[in-house]
Structures are given as structure tokens and as C-alpha cells.
A and B are shown apart, each in its own frame.
Chain A
Amino acid sequence: MEILDVLEKYPEEWVESFLKKVTGERIEEILKKEDLSLEDYLSLLSPAAKNYLEEMAVRAHKKNLQHFGKTILLYTPLYISNYCVNECVYCGYNKHSDIPRKKLSLEEIDREAKIISDKGIQHILLLSGESPVDTSIEYLEEVVEVLKKYFQSIAIEIYPLKEEGYRRLVQKGVDGVTLYQEVYDRGIYQKLHPKGPKRNYDFRIKALERAIKGGVASVNLGALLGLSDFRKEAFYTGVHSKYLLDTYPSVATSVSFPRMQPYLGGYEDIDPVHDQDFVQILLAYKIFMPMTGITLSTREEPALRENLIPLGITKMSAGVSTAVGGHSSDKENTEQFEISDNRSIEEVKESILKKGYQPILQDWVPL
């Protein structure tokens, strides 16, 4: 069964009416269970489960400790180009955005990579806008060649490729792919992506499977929370990640629950996800899929990031600039979104240690 068929088994209306029917009693039963079903996960995302956050936290903490121990893997994102042909209405890199466009040369990438690597980072996440002309596979192959000199693990967060594209990048040294569906609700997806290749919902949702067939060892998925009802979006993220783990058990699957951040002069129609909701989602997911990782970005505030560590986070970004060339240049440059945690890598490491967790800088050997 393909992912689209699996998602179709859980139509919006069914999810909505299910969420309303969940009782406190059911939550208590679920919290005693060892293995959770998708329906159990959905129950933990319900408004009724809000009253059980502490119980859920205890459970999520224990399960995470068992699977990942007291460790947090650190990585740094590297923005290499903000050229984009898409028109995502919520994004600062939107084709119509009047921002200075920049694509890093290989020399500039070398410089940025060296600065990040000198701080001890071994896991890098390469990001770019979607522009097959400006950021072609050939260019990306060259970029990966440069990064290989500095990092043990190279992941990409770029536009969806065909299987062959992924295979070529894997051969150069890419081992992981992050790709957010942005929003699983098809109607809202079409509205928010009016034009450009990204309008193709199906091509995007199947991308991670093409990446797996192309040879990547890990995939990270998620929905941009705030674009649609967050409970449903978090549920579909769980459906998707369970499908990937069931279908491709040798691949390490992880998720992110990025919350929509405003960008300059940008999209206002955000359905806010409050801290309490955000925590509920993280806990529900961790109890449901304790063997998979959860990545937390610098979109979140330092204090919240620290408090979330024992609740099931396994991977965090640090030392982040979302501006292209932002690591080596002081020049004001337009960021894709505003980050909330501006601390240095050293500061993030310190705070993780203080919380009783070990920051891990390397968890991969390139083979």
C-alpha cells in the first residue's frame, strides 16, 4: 500500500469526529499500554489528553531514555542559496519576495564549512530554495564534495528530487534527507502553493521514498504547524512516519514539528500552536514512536528548548544563521525566517550538559 492510500484511510472528517469522542478514561488506558496504535496516538493528540500532560511527560521521558539515553545530537544548517521558483505564500524565499538573492560559490561554501567545522560540528544540513537552474544537481554534487572535507554526516533539505538525483548525491556523500510536506491537508496545500513545481503534492509526499531507494540512511519529515489544524497535521505526520518505518525498517526515520514563524512583511494567517499544544504533540509522538528521533530547531526559544530536552528530543540545531552566507559574513542578509535561539554552539552544548544530557557531535561514519 502506498502512502497516499494509507493517508486516505484516515479522512479529515473521521479524524475530527474521533478527536471529539476521546475521553479521559481512554487516555488513562493508553498510558498503560506498551505498544500504541495510530488511533491511540490520535487520542493522545486530542483536547481530552491536555489534562494528562504530566503523566504523558513521565512516560515519554522513560521511553526516550530507554531508546536514546541522555544524549542530544547537534547539527548546523547551512543555507547555500535562496533562489526559488516557488510561490509558497508563507515563505520569505517566495519567488515574488523582493529580497536580495544569493547563491554561494564553492569558495564561499568552503569558507562557511570551515567556520562551522572549527566549532566541532560534524553533522551538517544543507539547505536551498527550489531552483533547478541555480541549484542544479551538478552544483549540489560539487557542494557535497566540498562539505565532505569537513563533515562526517551530510544531510540535505532541498526541493524533492527524482530517485536518480538522490542516488547521485548519495554517491557523493549525502546520507540523510529532510523534507517537510509543509501541510498534509491537500486543499490547504493547493491554496498555499498556487504555482511552481511545489504545487505537485504527490511528487513531494513520495520524495522521501525516492530518497530511500536512492540510498539515504536517514529521513526526517514533518509538517509546518500553524498552516492548518495542528492536531490533524501532527496525526498525519505520525501516519507518514509509521508508514516509512514499517515499509523501510532499515532506514532511520525522525520527525520535526516546526512551528510557523513570521517573516518580514509576510504571511499572517497563522493558526497559532501554543507551547502547551506543542508539548502535547511532542509527547504524544514520542509515546507512540519511541524508537524514532525528534529534531528541534532554533525556531524555538532557548528556555523552551532546554525544557524540552528530557521530554524526548534527540537532535537539535545549534549555531544557526538562516541567511545565505550568514556564517562568514556580517552583512545584513535576508533570513528565510526569524530564529529564536541565537546562542553559539558552545552555549548550546553547555546548556545541554547542565540539563544532565550529553551533546553528541558525531554519530555517523561515512562509508
Chain B
Amino acid sequence: MKNKDQLQLGDHFFNSRLLVGTGKYENHDIMKKSIEASGTEMVTMALRRVDLKNPKENVLNFIPENMTLLPNTSGARNAEEAIRIAKIARAAGCGNFIKIEVISDQKYLLPDNYETIKATKALASEGFHVLPYMSPDLMAAKEMEKAGAKAVMPLGSPIGSNRGIENKGLIKILINEIKVPIIVDAGIGKPSHAAEAMELGAKAVLVNTAIAASKDPIEMARAFDYAVKAGRLAYLSKFGEVKARGDASSPLTGFLRKEQ
């Protein structure tokens, strides 16, 4: 049941608008505590890192129990590989959510929108709740929405770059035009970037490197929780108009009013 201000993905509702990852942590214990500190309810992990043979190493065993899992297809270089990884994830008991990540460029790690659309179509038609990771492009986002994506996840800047929302204008267009939630994924380097994405109108953000690779991931996770909440509140409170300069005391068209 939807109540108050919740994030809606298909028919699932979440109180937290912060999604976090599981990669790059120095150990499973710090990862677990960071996830808890972030207040998140949805955690993404690369299926290729899910070690089903060794319970001691299996990342799934270190994700707090009440979390919704969002396995991702990291490692896939085309739609076909992404589809196969998604099916393995479902068979491994990771649930129906899948974040499609198709990367055929190891240099900049930019997603392949074309292959991602294909994978979205195929997986959505098989009952997956698909969240595609993409380069912010309106036509591609529309295709993904049409294909049945439950959200669209444009990158703010390349994965792990911590450069923030470099594609602000393009992401704003997606926010305006796409009906399913826009979740800004990748590139968010500090809490202020997350707040900025939320103020812009993103429905949620996904953060990994900025938390995991910080000196104190647990405290950083908490900071992101606050930032996302602050950004969301600010967005809902509607901003006053931003003006380039103060109002001129003697408006140039003031004479028109005098004549009335």
C-alpha cells in the first residue's frame, strides 16, 4: 500500500530513495554496517561476485535480511549476456528485480544503450522488474520505458568517477519526459551531488564508490541518507525562482504602468 512519500518501482514501494551497491568495500563486515547506516531498502550486487559455492564468501550472506535485492548484470558486453546473467540471478534466488548493465567499453565504462534496450525488452516480457542503467538519452529512455522498464537509470558521470551530475541538462529532460522513475546512477561522488540529483527531481539515486571507497564508509553512508532526504524535501517544497540579479528599482517599462 502506498502511503506518504514513497518510491514506487512497479508495484513495490520503498521509504528510502537511496539505493546502494556492494562492490569495492574492504570487507563484508564494513559493507554490511554501511548498508545498514545508509537507511536503504534496496541493494545492488554483481551476480558475477555472488559466490554460491562458498557461504563464507557469498556476498548475499552479508546483506541485511530485510533488503530488496537488485542483482546487476555487470560483466555483460551485449544483450544476450545480460539476459543470461539475469536468468542465473533469478535461479539463484535473487528475486525478480534486475539492473541491466551492458558495457562494451572498458575504457570509460559507458553503457551501451542499444543493447540495453534489447535486454530490457526480453527480460521485461519474462516478468523481470527491469531497471536499465544507461547514458542519458531521451529516445533511448523512451524505448526502455516502452519496453517495460520499471525505472530508468541514467548516469550522472562515468562509474566510479565521483565527478557528480555532469549531464544535468539531459537528466532534467528525462525527468520531465519519462513517466517511470528516473534514478541517477553512477558518478555521484559526494552527498551534495546526491542532494543535487534529488532537488532536480530524480526519484532516487544509486551510490556505491563514494561510500565504499571513502575513509569511513559507515559514516559516509549516513551522510548520503541525510543528503537524499534533504534533496527530496527541497524538491517537494518547490524552490523560489532563481534570479540573475535583483529587481531594478525603476523598471524600464515602469512608464507603461504610470499611464494606466
Contacts and interface: CB of A to CB of B under 8 A. Distances in A.
Contacts of B103: 250
B49 to A, nearest CB: 6
A1 interface: no
A358 B26 CA distance: 5
B57 A357 contact: no
Interface in A235-253: 245-246, 249-253
B192 interface: no
B81 A353 contact: no
A364 B84 CA distance: 13
Q: Is the interface of B mostly helix, strand, loop or mixed?
A: loop
B121 to A, nearest CB: 19
Given A358-B25, A358-B26, A364-B48, A66 B106 contact: no
A120 B26 contact: no
B104 A250 contact: yes
B209 to A, nearest CB: 7
A22 interface: no
A70 B25 contact: yes
Contacts of B236: none
A134 to B, nearest CB: 32
Instruction: Determine the interface band of chain B, counting residues with CB < 8 A from chain A.
Output: 20 to 34
Interface in B57-110: 57, 75, 77, 81, 84-85, 88, 103-107, 109
Nearest to B28: A358
A120 B77 contact: no
A353 B160 contact: no
Contacts of A250: 77, 103-106
B54 interface: yes
B213 interface: yes
B4 interface: no
Given A250-B104, A358-B25, A122 B213 contact: no
A358 B85 CA distance: 24
B23 interface: yes
B212 interface: yes
B57 to A, nearest CB: 5
Given A291-B109, A363-B48, A66 B209 contact: yes
B8 interface: no
B57 A362 contact: yes
B84 A120 contact: no
A71 interface: yes
Interface in B1-40: 23-28
B104 A69 contact: no
B47 interface: yes
A303 interface: no
Instruction: Determine the interface band of chain A, counting residues with CB < 8 A from chain B.
Output: 20 to 34
Interface string A287-315: 00001100000000000000000000000
**Of B25, B48, B88, B103, most A-chain CB atoms within 10 Å:** B48
Contacts of A65: 24, 213
A362 B49 CA distance: 5
B26 A363 contact: no
Interface string A342-365: 000000000001001110111111
B258 interface: no
A69 B106 contact: no
B106 A71 contact: no
B105 A249 contact: yes
A89 interface: no
B47 to A, nearest CB: 6
A85 B69 CA distance: 53
B167 interface: no
B32 to A, nearest CB: 12
Nearest to B81: A367
Contacts of B88: 365
A355 B49 CA distance: 21
Contacts of A363: 46, 48-49
A144 to B, nearest CB: 19
Contacts of A249: 104-107
A67 B25 CA distance: 12
Nearest to B109: A291
Contacts of A278: none
Nearest to B76: A367
Contacts of B209: 66, 69
A71 B24 contact: yes
Contacts of B51: 122, 361-362
Contacts of B234: none
Contact of B85 (A251, A252, A292, A367): A367
Given A66-B209, A362-B49, 19 more contacts: A65-B24, A67-B160, A69-B209, A246-B107, A250-B77, A250-B106, A251-B106, A252-B106, A291-B106, A291-B107, A358-B25, A360-B49, A361-B54, A363-B49, A364-B48, A365-B48, A365-B88, A367-B81, A367-B84
19 contacts: A66-B161, A66-B162, A68-B24, A69-B25, A70-B213, A71-B24, A120-B57, A217-B75, A245-B106, A245-B107, A249-B106, A251-B106, A357-B26, A358-B26, A360-B49, A362-B50, A362-B51, A364-B75, A365-B47
Return the 9 tightest CB-CB contacts between A and B, nearest first. Answer: A69-B24, A250-B104, A70-B26, A362-B51, A249-B105, A365-B48, A65-B213, A356-B26, A250-B77
